[in-house]
Amino acid sequence: MALKIVYRLKEQLVENIYNIEELEAIMENHKYFPSEIDSAEEDGILKFSNGRSQIYIKYSIKDDGEYIISDVTYCVKKTGKTQVHAFKNPADIKAMMDYFRDNEQNEWFLAFVLGLTLGRRVGDTLALKWSDFYYENGNKKSILNTVIEQKTNKTIEIKISESAWNYIEWYKDINSLNISECYKKDIF
């Protein structure tokens, strides 16, 4: 399917001139949206993605800012787990925690440590509510089972570690929070 789109786009775009709005509209009709722009001095690549694959549009820029299209190619995104190593060692993590705590950025501290202890993406962590951790009567939950991952749109179950509970209780104490009053509210 995507290869057919690429062939159609090649026929339509190559050796023709478009402005960025026209290109984005054409790509949107095929359900591809801008993902990033790489540009050298005169030649560059516009990257469009539908979440599963990418289409690269190679271009040159005219003096008036319009794009002369020279090629359209297709790239399948790599499957599997993406690994990012933001911290090189545990001391880096501790330094980040100390920074938040020392600068009284308690909300960011809690978001950071929950992201670490629960192993969730930032968006998933920032979407947490008090009701994800507590029952209405104020008792603690042992399993987080209300989180819908932003990336996959799946509901997942996560065991809430003792470490996570320590940070949650610390945050509640320093902010004098009563769960019955904030049960339905967002944490962040």
Interval 85-143: pLDDT, tens: 678 888 999 999 999 999 999 999 999 999 999 988 888 888 899 999 999 898 999 99
| Co-location of 113 and 147 in the same domain | yes
How crowded is the C-beta side of 86, counted as CA atoms within 13 Å? 8
| Co-location of 56 and 119 in the same domain | no
Q: Is residue 167 part of a domain?
A: yes
| Co-location of 178 and 94 in the same domain | yes
Question: Residue 82 — very low, low, confident or very high, per pLDDT cuts 50/70/90?
Answer: low
Q: Is residue 156 part of a domain?
A: yes
| Co-location of 121 and 178 in the same domain | yes
What's this model's pTM, rounded to 2 decimal places?
0.54
Instruction: State the residue range of the domain holding 71.
Output: 2-76
- Select from 16, 43, 76 the last residue of a domain: 76
Interstrand relation of 67-76 and 17-18 (parallel, antiparallel or unpaired): antiparallel
Could you tell me the CA-to-CA distances from 51 to 78, 127, 151 in Å, in that order? 11, 22, 10
- Select from 50, 76, 102 the last residue of a domain: 76
